[in-house]
Structure 1
Amino acid sequence: MNTLRSTERFSDRVADYVRYRPTYPAALLDWLHKAQGVTTDWRIADVGAGTGISSKLFLDAGHTVVAVEPNAAMRGAAVEWLSSYRTFSAVDGRADATTLDDGSVALVSVAQAFHWFDPESTRREFHRILRPGGLAAIYWNSRRLVGTPFLEGYEALLKTYGTDYTSVAERYADEPQMREWFGQGWRGTASFDHRQLLDFDALRGRLMSSSYAPQAGHPNHEPMIDALRKLFDTCAVNDQISFDYDTRVYVGEVL
């Protein structure tokens, strides 16, 4: 993980991340509330909170949220964006060293970031900060790689022009791995359809929010953008493409 600079690699992409990364479906939060017994008085630790996209999901539902994020640029963007929420705060911390007090949260939320964490030290830290009976929810938007000409063409584009795409792409855990991580604390899983409808500028921004997309000045940058333009022109309907995801969530106690 250290060789991939997990806490630094998005620093120069914050603006695109804020504007163009997808939210999470409301059905996910509804499932946590109805199927897992989470209530709005549960205090949330959003670990690896990034720019606050996942934090906002809980804040809008009435939760108190502390965002734990080691990347200063991303944490600063979250603070700026969510400063109007009186129940929001942010700390400089990592999954294995959150800085939070023992038993101080009822739910640990991890959106999109779990694959950067060390599993064993993270389990110990989550166990420490969760109150008795508290839960961890690990979830992510997993981009669909096949199913439409656009999705398949976009995957081919990343393999052709991405800098270290094959090292970091779609490294999310599957259900057997998450069941093993939770062990006896395992509570359940669910999956939801999700998508973004993007015009070309938004699609370009979504691409450039990815840490493996070469930036201006890199020899692959201009050819990549040209290929993206051609893919969009070929696949767009009413000047938009559908960027499709499966949103997967895994929940359990951390024993």
Structure 2
Amino acid sequence: MNNRFKDHFSKDSTAYSQYRPGYPPDLFEYLASLTKTRHIAWDCATGSGQAAYQLAGYYDRVIATDASSSQIAATTSHDNIDYRVATAEQSGIDDASVDLVTVAQALHWFDLKAFFDEVRRVVKPGGVIAVWSYNLLKIAPGIDPVIDRLYHDTLQGYWPEERERVERGYGDIPFPFTPVSTMPVFSMTADWSLPHLLGYLGTWSAVQRMIQETGHNPVEQIGQALTRIWGDPDKPRPVAWPLSIRVGYNP
């Protein structure tokens, strides 16, 4: 097990599974269209398996790995998904066996050189790697500034340094693969009640760190402000996250 693994999510894997948003189905349809064959996909750092579950509709077999045994325990079983506890840098997958590698909102935690070496080892020649991230959600003009202040002001100093890679959309990360020539634009969308939104905010790693270090939950504080703006807390509102995606071919 790679001793660089920084576990920010195992303490509340159930909440992570319950509140994290799902990825758009057309993203997986697009990625599957890029691979020559659809035998094996590797979803690396699968978390609670959101991406793996969708990949299972396109590939004969999905290997879904995560360094956190608690995250793997919170996944939903599927006939053709093989869940494993393994790090990104030491997957245990056979050489040149994978058609597609996906990393959803997790690349910033990896030892990048070691991970990319692992990708080149396990992916077939001409196979595909796709990595993506999302930053702050957008809901409505009165609500967004409250969440922005939580993110930028209240939680300043509690975000791990790797978070800066997400804020830059992975744009400055060396990506040693042949990029696809054109990329569609994808966004995550959801319709959430206020309790669901607050549950999601509670899964932020900086929120968990602040609670651990101070005993104070900042989400409870902004919950009062959001309740005044939201109105009926059970009324769903549309939520959106633009995705930053990098896709490339293994030479």
- TM bracket, shorter-chain basis: 0.7 to 0.9
Structure 1: which amino acid aligns with 2:222? A
Question: What is the match of residue 253 of structure 1?
Answer: 249
Please point out which of 192, 196, 199 is paired with 1:205: 199
Residue equivalent to 1:231 = 226
Q: Larger deviation: 62-71 or 146-155?
A: 146-155
| Cα offset, 1:102, TM superposition | 0.6
Does the CA contact (< 8 Å) of 1:159 and 1:165 recur in 2?
no
Pairwise mapping of residues 117-196 of structure 1 onto structure 2 (< 5 A)? 117-144=110-137, 148-162=141-155, 164-165=158-159, 167-169=161-163, 171-172=165-166, 174=169, 176-177=171-172, 180-183=174-177, 185-188=178-181, 189-196=183-190
Using the size of structure 2 for normalisation, the TM-score is: 0.84
Q: CA-atom RMSD, angstroms?
A: 2.8
- CA offsets per residue over residues 1-53 of structure 1, 9 Å max, x none? x99x754110112111111100100121122234x2465x3311111111111
Partner of 2:15: 16
Measure the CA separation in 1 of the matches of 2:216 and 2:153.
9
SS of structure 2 residue aligned to 1:195: strand
Residue 207 of structure 1: CA displacement?
Answer: 1.0
1:55 alignment counterpart: 52
Would the alpha carbon gap of residues 147 and 224 (structure 1) be closer, same or farther in structure 2, given more than 3 Å must change?
Answer: closer
Q: Is the 8 A contact 2:128 2:250 kept in 1?
A: yes
Secondary structure (helix, strand or coil) at the match of 1:103 reads: coil
- The aligned residue for residue 110 of structure 1 is 103
The normalised TM-score by structure 1 is: 0.83
Contact 2:108 / 2:162 at 8 angstroms: preserved in 1?
Answer: no
Moved more, 200-209 or 186-195: 186-195
CA distance in 2, matches of 1:176, 1:157: 24
The one-letter code of the counterpart of 1:94 is T
| Structure 1 gap ranges (5+) | none
Between the aligned partners of 1:166 and 1:101, the Cα distance in structure 2 is: 33
**Residue in 2 that maps onto 1:68:** 65
SS of 2:185 mapped into structure 1: strand
**Alignment: residue pair count:** 244
Structure 2: where are the runs of 5+ without partners? none
CA distance 1:146–1:86, change in 2 (3 Å) = closer
Identity of matched residues, %: 21
